[in-house]
Amino acid sequence: MLFADHAITNVGCGTSDLGGSSDAANGISLQVDVSATLDLDIVASDLREAMEVLVVFEPRISGVKAYRVIDNLGFPNRFVVEALGFSGGIWLLWNDSRVKLEVVANSRHSIAVVIDNGSLFWVRTMVYANPNPVVMKSLWGYLSALRRCFKGPWVVMGDFNEIVSSEKKRGGRNCFSKIGFSDWISDNELIDMGFIGQKFTWMIKRGICEEIWERLDRALCSMEWRSLFTKGFIRHLPRNSSDHCPIMLNLHSSHVPRNPLKPFRFEVMWMKHEDFGELVQ
């Protein structure tokens, strides 16, 4: 059954008291063909000292070969969802001397962790959405169930393999959100965090001249998360050999470059949230 791909494992429901602030859990998400590039070692070595968390999507290798590469990246902790051939796979790598996190749920297409910095707990979910419409719809249902299970601040980021409007695409046919992605965002009262950097995160060439550009990779957060990390932001880093650009989550304004963030857009569904009035004040 396709839904079995999204069965929750190692999951426990509950709530945590929230407070304080966190210096931990800045991180980068990469989608890269590890089997065809030597750049990942270089990228990771440059970022290892600055980043607490590194996530690699769709590495295109598995088994012994995958773990050999992971060992070379030098992060002391890892959690791996194995790729099936060239399809899927998620590597979650982190340094437990700099960030305290616990994997609380995983599926074929996601890993959820609780990040603990003493008085502050929040949930981060890393997602690689399979482009198959049936599997993708099942993933939205799984993530909604996960959201109901873990109350409190939540950020979900990764490759969603969907766009929410035509302005998130250049080239190719003008179509988007065929299977409820926009509705899922609204139903779960999530906010698109926007980004700094290039507009599109993915590119493919069709034929000799045509290029298709889309913003498939993004970060979405709950209002609770945004109220805790008001200065947190997403940055799109330059593409290298991958067809996706890396995306970086920063929690602090000290990392914001001088070029401005993309314009803020108000979403009507935010008004439905019980904490909306307090947050605005």
pLDDT tens-digit map of 90-128: 999 998 888 889 999 999 999 999 998 677 889 999 999
The answer to whether residue 65 scores a pLDDT higher than 80 is yes
Q: Report whether 111 contacts 79 (CB < 8 A).
A: yes
- Among 98, 94, 163, 100, smallest CA distance to 126 is for 94
Q: Tell me which H or E stretch contains 273.
A: none
CATH code 3.60.10.10 for 2-9+24-264: yes
Least confident of 126-130, 192-196, 220-224, 265-269: 265-269
- Among 45, 43, 93, smallest CA distance to 246 is for 43
- 250: confidence class by pLDDT, cuts 50, 70, 90: confident
* The two structure tokens encoding residue 52: 């607490």
Q: Which residue has the higher pLDDT, 177 or 69?
A: 69
Please give the backbone phi and psi of residue 171, each rounded to the nearest 5 degrees, phi first. 90, 160
pLDDT at 265: 45
Of all residues in the chain, the percent with pLDDT exceeding 90 is 31
Q: What average pLDDT does the segment 188-212 reach?
A: 81
What residues contact residue 266 under an 8 Å CB cut-off, 6+ apart? Answer: none
Q: Report whether 171 contacts 131 (CB < 8 A).
A: no
The rounded distance, in Å, linking the Cα atoms of 136 and 93 is 25
pLDDT at 34: 46
Query: Each residue of 35-51: pLDDT tens digit?
Result: 444 455 555 555 565 67
Tell me which range, 10-14, 93-97, 263-267, is most confidently predicted by mean pLDDT: 93-97
Q: Tell me which H or E stretch contains 146.
A: helix 133-149
pLDDT at 146: 94
The answer to whether residue 251 scores a pLDDT higher than 80 is yes
220 residue type, one letter: L
Q: Report whether 237 contacts 197 (CB < 8 A).
A: yes
- What is the CB neighbour count within 10 angstroms for residue 264? 8
Q: Report whether 93 contacts 70 (CB < 8 A).
A: yes
Q: Residue 37 to residues 21, 43, 90, 241, 242: CA-CA distances in angstroms?
A: 38, 11, 17, 7, 9
Query: Each residue of 123-141: pLDDT tens digit?
Result: 999 999 998 989 999 999 9
Q: Where are the domains of the chain?
A: 2-9+24-264
- 156: confidence class by pLDDT, cuts 50, 70, 90: very high
pTM (two decimals) = 0.75
What residues contact residue 173 under an 8 Å CB cut-off, 6+ apart? Answer: none
The rounded distance, in Å, linking the Cα atoms of 217 and 205 is 18
Please give the backbone phi and psi of residue 40, each rounded to the nearest 5 degrees, phi first. -65, -40
Strand partners, 110: 107, 127
The 8-class DSSP code of residue 118 comes to: S
Parallel, antiparallel or unpaired: strands 77-81 and 27-31: unpaired
Helix residue spans in 150-264 (DSSP H): 181-187, 223-228
